[in-house]
Amino acid sequence: MARLLVLLAAAALSACGLQPLYGGGSRSPVAATLRSVEVAPIDGQVGWLMYNKLKERLGSAGEAPPAYRLEVELDDNITGFGIRGDRAVTRERRTLRARYRLVDLAGGGVVLDATAGSDAGIDVVSSEYATVAAEQTAVERLSEVVADQIVARLGLFAARTAAPR
């Protein structure tokens, strides 16, 4: 009976039309499209972090001439809250937002214009060094999260625009 239920569940899932985004591995149309994206330089220290995270996630670019350029504008903000009676901040929120555009290099048009973002809470402690280190760690984590969001959205774009097999 249990085997029958498993077979029925597998049959139902196969009929739903879902397919893996990276089906075919590194030779898939999605992976090939992601490899054809060059990342434009991004200003600032946080921009440098984001640039490197995006390059890591997009794969081995440079194997072929790029077909797209990814342009990213960052908004990095730290807001203090959790204020004590002596007006000292005890908690901060670091927010990283990215507006990104995917430009088709052949036609020069923007084919994708979207945003991604995340935030992290930071405890403000009596040691200024510890607080600065926590802020830096937070922006490194946020860069990873936002880069993952951007690449996931680029993967969806690539899957929707890939030539039919």
Write down the pLDDT at residue 62. Answer: 54
For 23, the token pair is 């089906």
Write down the pLDDT at residue 136. Answer: 93
Residue 82: Cβ within 10 Å count: 13
Write down the pLDDT at residue 18. Answer: 44
- Residue by residue, pLDDT tens for the chain (165 residues) are 666 555 556 555 555 554 544 545 455 778 888 899 999 999 999 999 999 999 999 976 556 689 999 999 999 999 988 777 787 888 899 999 999 999 999 998 999 999 999 999 998 888 989 989 999 999 999 999 999 999 999 999 998 886 544
pTM of the model: 0.80
Cβ neighbours for 157, distance < 8 A, ≥ 6 positions apart: 33, 102, 111, 112
The sign of the dihedral angle between the CA atoms of 146, 152, 157, 158 is: positive
Write down the pLDDT at residue 32. Answer: 84
